[in-house]
Amino acid sequence: MIKVSILVPLYNTSIDELQKCIDSLLGQEFERYEIIIVDDGSDLCPARESLLTDYLVDSKVSLIRHCKNLGLPSARNTGLRAATGEYVVHVDSDDFWITTDVLQTLYETALIDGCDVLRFNGQYSSNGRLGRPIVRKLNCINTPLNSDVRLQIFRSVFLFFCRREFVLENNLYFNSTIHLGEDAIYVSKLLVSTTKISSVTNMFYAYTIDNGSMMRSTWRYEDFVDENNAVVEVIKNLSSYPKIAIIYSWRRYNMYMLKALYPRAIMDLSRDELKRLSALYVQTRKDIEEILGLSLPVGRAFKLTSWYYFSCRGGTFDGLLALILQKSYPKAKQYYKFFGVSWIFRSIRYRVKYAIAKFGVVLPPKFSYNRPVENLEGLSSYNLQPRHHRSKAAKKGLSVMLRVKNEEQGIVECIESIIDLCAELVIVDNNSVDNTVDLVKQIISSHIGGHKIKLHHYPFQVARCGVDHDRTPENSVHSLAYYYNWCLDKCSYNAVIKWDADMVVSKHQDKRAEFQTLIDMVTNARLPTAVNFITQSFYLSNSDEGYLASNELNREIRIFSNRAAIFFIKKKNFESLAFFVPARIIHPDSVFSFELKRLWQNEFDHWSSVSFATARKVAEYRSFRRLMLVVGSSALNDYCSTSLSEL
């Protein structure tokens, strides 16, 4: 069965570029795929025909010919209709794939995520050298278009790995009447048709920019019209996301137009055509406002340039404007960078933000230092205590802040690994329905360090990470940030470590000694201090053996001074520890602790849905699912060969 269909539109591509492209596709380590080449009426070239004949010997390669040139959108549609794979991906015939694991990685990731669309990345290629990335780096799982601005890039259709059934169900074919900007139309329609968009950061695609493609050749007036019509189609596709549509129109008409289209038009079109084009742009903006039912912001540059084309007489001003747009702008931009103006303003902006965050110039009013923080529900017994007075009374030592809910599988192991390193272990149970609380009580009564444990109960349903958290007010007892600060209130020592019930400290004495040294540094510090240390993921296949994920070394500030101006705040998806005073941050390189993930449990039920946008959570989810789906249960024990006692 064919797993992936690779669609390659071809039109008069040079022999060298075509050969490099097809060779990169045939060199993939993946097995079950097909390459569909669609020749869109290329000129007869014996060398190209001979090359294609050689490739057709391979059973993976097939060729479809158009009797005449119908355009790139039609060629792509022909490939889509002929595809038989579970997934489809586009490759331009003058580009190539950089590595041999492209299909293997994309297919595995798409299966693991269960996504409809998987975006990857690539680099611009010129004179045989790879340059900057094509799109901004993004790592996400099953997120909608409006979840991240880095997804809102409507071009480069060759960076999308799509489930073919999803494409067919949503009738996602290219608009064959528009030959410029057709990829923007397609990608915008693709991304608004699903909420299950995933992304990987791998640089797989090489986009050749030193050839004679349409985007780098002379344009006719009809080409500008085509490009403008494409913008309108994109806006129509984005009508269900009006904020994104407004941002897109702003970029097109107030940035891309001034910097790219008008200079090109001045060089390629006559004065009468320029006037017609400017009038078209102005009218198009009005049409877009009618489509969206909104007034679009109009930049000064667009107004001035449009006014010029309406009012100009004679050719002198044409030359002057061409000089300004084509020559003066790049020079001004160079001077701007040379004198560091951009850096200065950026630096000032960041320094102001730093001052606000670090020196307490502005503090969230609901977390004031000198008065209790009342919760939204009016439950006075669960108000947060005045942190200013409590932090002054803190004793010297380490408090472990441990929140638990249905943690009977690993709670004993967790407590025993860290109890000898702390002065106090604050355990806050959040409505556990298993034996978690009973096991904690047994440790209190039987363990030599049981007297250190302080058991509390937090009776409210706490919002799960993700959408639930985002919708919950920060000062509600159901908020993650409020819950964490309530737990922090129970810590009575001058240093706190935020610990999780699935975490254990290394059993090696040298590691534990180094960990203790870091704890002592925080407890003895006169100024606010924190430790941003590494936790490594360990996936348990049974109670004793598992897989140590060498690629999951997650840094997080977990040890910190118990000061008034250090507490938890609400951020997108989850809570975050915030420092409103200058603090010394220590970054050790050693691995002291491990996060145990049991493959027989649902490790992600504390999230609202399987939709992640942080690199750490994405890596954890994909590792977990890969062990369950790709490796397979029969090979799991061989794959997971590290003993828990070795950590």
pLDDT at 564: 83
Q: Mind giving me the DSSP string for 536-587?
A: EEEEESSSSEEEEEEEEEEEEEEEEE--TTEEEEE-SSSEEEEESS--EEE-
In the chain, the number of structural domains is 3
Q: Is residue 356 part of a domain?
A: no
Domain boundary among 198, 213, 228: 213
Would you state the pLDDT for residue 391? 56
Contact yes or no for 292/239 (Cβ under 8 A):
yes
Mark whether 335 and 378 lie in a shared domain: no
Tokens 């938890």 correspond to 568
Could you tell me if 164 and 302 lie in one domain?
Answer: no
Q: Are residues 157 and 306 in the same domain?
A: no
Could you tell me which of 501, 502, 428, 490 has the C-alpha nearest to residue 459? 428
User: Within 13 A of 333's CA, how many CA atoms are on the CB side?
Assistant: 8
- How far is the C-alpha of 81 from the C-alpha of 99, rounded, in Å? 27
Instruction: For residues 551 and 596, state if they share a domain.
Output: yes
Question: Which tens digit of pLDDT belongs to each residue from 4-58?
Answer: 999 999 999 999 999 999 999 999 999 899 999 999 999 988 999 999 999 999 9
347 in a domain, yes or no? no
Give the C-alpha separation, 429 to 126, whole Å: 59
In a domain, 359, yes or no: no
Q: Are 122 and 207 in contact (CB under 8 A)?
A: yes
Sign for the CA dihedral angle at 313, 314, 316, 321 comes to positive
Q: What is the CATH number of the domain that holds 176?
A: 3.90.550.10
Q: Which domain holds residue 238?
A: 218-339
**Listed residue (7, 19, 17, 4) closest to 207, CA to CA:** 17
Closest to 442 (Cα-Cα) out of 452, 434, 450 = 450
Three-state DSSP state, 327: helix
Structure tokens that stand for 312 in this block: 């100009």
User: Does residue 157 sit in the same domain as residue 14?
Assistant: yes
DSSP state string for 148-188: -GGG-----GGGEEEEHHHHHHTT----TT--SSHHHHHHH
Question: β-strands 87-90, 160-163: how paired?
Answer: antiparallel
The CA distance from 623 to 644, in Å, is 18
Does some domain include residue 350?
no
What's the pTM? 0.79
**Alpha-carbon Rg of the chain, whole angstroms?**
30
Number of neighbouring beta carbons within 10 Å of residue 138: 21
Let me know the angle formed at the C-alpha of 618 by 163 and 234, rounded to the nearest 5 degrees: 45
Same domain? For 398 and 505 the reply is: yes
Tokens representing 38 are 């669609």
Q: How many CA atoms lie within 13 A of 140 on its CB side?
A: 26
Q: What is the mean pLDDT of each run of 10 residues along the chain (647 residues)?
A: 94 92 95 94 90 93 93 94 96 95 95 94 90 91 88 93 96 90 93 94 90 62 88 90 86 72 75 81 80 66 46 42 44 39 46 47 46 85 75 81 93 94 96 94 93 96 88 92 93 94 93 94 92 92 81 91 88 86 90 89 74 79 79 61 77
Yes or no: say if 91 and 6 are a contact pair by the CB < 8 Å rule.
yes
Asked, for residue 578, whether it belongs to a domain, the answer is yes
What is the distance between the alpha carbons of residues 173 and 196, in angstroms, rounded to a whole number? 19
107 and 230 in a single domain? The answer is no
Q: How far is Cα 283 from Cα 228, in angstroms, rounded to an integer?
A: 11
- Beta carbons of 549 and 498 less than 8 angstroms apart: no
Please give the C-alpha separations between residue 475 and each of 70, 202, 374, 466, 608, in angstroms, as whole numbers. Answer: 60, 40, 8, 17, 20
Query: What does the pLDDT read at residue 90?
Result: 97
Which helix (H) or strand (E) segment is 498 a member of? strand 493-500
Give the orientation angle of helix 271-292 with respect to helix 221-237, to 10 degrees. Answer: 10
- Asked if residue 304 belongs to a domain, the reply is yes
Helix, strand, coil fractions of the chain, as percent rounded to 5: 45, 25, 30
The residue from 181, 213, 245 where one domain ends is: 213
Q: Has residue 8 been placed in a domain?
A: yes
Structure tokens at 53: 């004949």
In a domain, residue 360? The reply is no
pLDDT at 359: 43
Residues 582 and 433 in one domain: yes
Residue that terminates a domain, selected from 187, 213, 239:
213
Mark whether 97 and 149 lie in a shared domain. yes
Cα–Cα distance, 551 to 484 (Å, whole number): 29
Residue 402 has a pLDDT of 96
d(CA 645, CA 281): 69
For 597, the token pair is 């993930």
H or E element in which residue 198 lies: strand 197-208
Q: Write the CATH number for 414.
A: 3.90.550
Q: Are residues 328 and 430 in the same domain?
A: no
Spatial separation of the C-alpha atoms in residues 474 and 458, rounded to whole Å:
17
415 lies in the same domain as 278: no
Residue spans of alpha helices (H) in 252-393: 262-268, 271-292, 300-311, 316-323, 329-338, 341-358, 387-392
What pLDDT score does 477 carry? 94
Pair 166, 237 in one domain:
no
